[in-house]
Amino acid sequence: MSGGTPILVVGSVAFDDVRTPFGAGADLLGGSATHFSVAASYFTPVRLVAVVGEDFAEAHAAPLRERGVDLAGLQRRAGRTFRWAGEYDFDLNNPRTLDTQLNVFAEFSPELPAGWEDTPVVFLANIDPDLQASVRGMVREPRLVAADTMNFWIAGKPDALRRTLGAVDVLLINDGEIRQLTGRWNLVEAAEEIHALGPRTVVVKRGEHGVLVFAPGDVFAVPAYPLRRVLDPTGAGDAFAGGFLGQLAARLRQDQEPDWRRAAVVGSVMASFQVESFSLERVRQLRPGEIEERYAGFRKLTEFGDFQR
Ligand code: AMP
* Per-residue confidence band for 84, with pLDDT thresholds at 50, 70 and 90: very high
Does position 32 have pLDDT exceeding 60, yes or no?
Answer: yes
Confidence of residue 112 (pLDDT cuts 50, 70, 90): very high
Write down the pLDDT at residue 96.
Answer: 94
pLDDT confidence bin for 254, thresholds 50/70/90: confident
pLDDT value for 252: 85
pLDDT at 125: 98
**Mean pLDDT of the residues in the chain:** 96
Q: Is the CB of 84 under 6 A from ligand 1?
A: yes
Q: Is 177 in the pocket of ligand 1 (CB under 6 A)?
A: no
Q: What is the pLDDT of residue 1?
A: 62
In whole angstroms, what is the distance from residue 232 CA to residue 67 CA? 21
Query: Which band of pLDDT confidence, cut at 50, 70 and 90, is reported for residue 253?
Result: confident
**Structural domains of the chain sorted by starting position, each given as residue range(s) with its CATH number in brackets:** 7-302 (3.40.1190.20)
Alpha carbons 204 and 80: distance in angstroms, whole number: 33
- Position 91 scores a pLDDT of 87
In short, whether 132's Cβ falls inside 6 Å of ligand 1 is no
Whether 5 contacts 29, CB under 8 Å: no
The Cα 254–Cα 267 span in angstroms is: 19
Q: How far is Cα 229 from Cα 4, in angstroms, rounded to an integer?
A: 33
Beta bridge partners of 174: 205
* Coil vs helix vs strand at 165: helix
Mean pLDDT of 264-273: 98
Question: CA–CA separation, 187 vs 44, rounded Å?
Answer: 31
For the stretch 139-165, pLDDT in tens is 999 999 999 999 999 999 999 999 999
Q: Is 126 in the pocket of ligand 1 (CB under 6 A)?
A: yes
How far is residue 285's CA from residue 293's CA, in Å, rounded to a whole number? 15
Q: Using 50, 70 and 90 to split pLDDT, how confident is the model at 47? A: very high
Sign of dihedral through CA atoms 16, 127, 218, 46? negative
Query: Is the distance from CB of 40 to CB of 15 less than 8 angstroms?
Result: no
Atom 21 in ligand 1: residue holding the nearest Cα: 127
Q: What's the predicted TM-score (pTM) here?
A: 0.97
C-alpha–C-alpha distance, residues 258 and 146, integer Å? 13
pLDDT surpasses 70 at 105: yes
Q: Which of 15, 7, 16 is nearest to 38 (CA)?
A: 7
Q: List the beta bridge partners of residue 84.
A: 16, 100
Q: How remote is the CA of residue 302 from the centroid of ligand 1, in Å? A: 30
pLDDT in tens, 199-214: 999 999 999 999 999 9
Distance 126 CA to ligand 1 centre (A): 7
246 CB within 6 A, ligand 1: no
Confidence bin at 255 (pLDDT 50/70/90): confident
Backbone phi, psi, residue 272, to 5°: -65, -35
The predicted structure's pLDDT at residue 2: 54
Rounded CA gap, 219 and 202, in Å?
10
* Length of the chain, in residues: 309
pLDDT interval class at 39 (50, 70, 90) = very high
* pLDDT above 60 for 79: yes
Q: Indicate the range of 152-156, 257-261, 283-287 predicted with least confidence.
A: 257-261
Range with lowest mean pLDDT among 7-16, 243-252, 269-278: 243-252
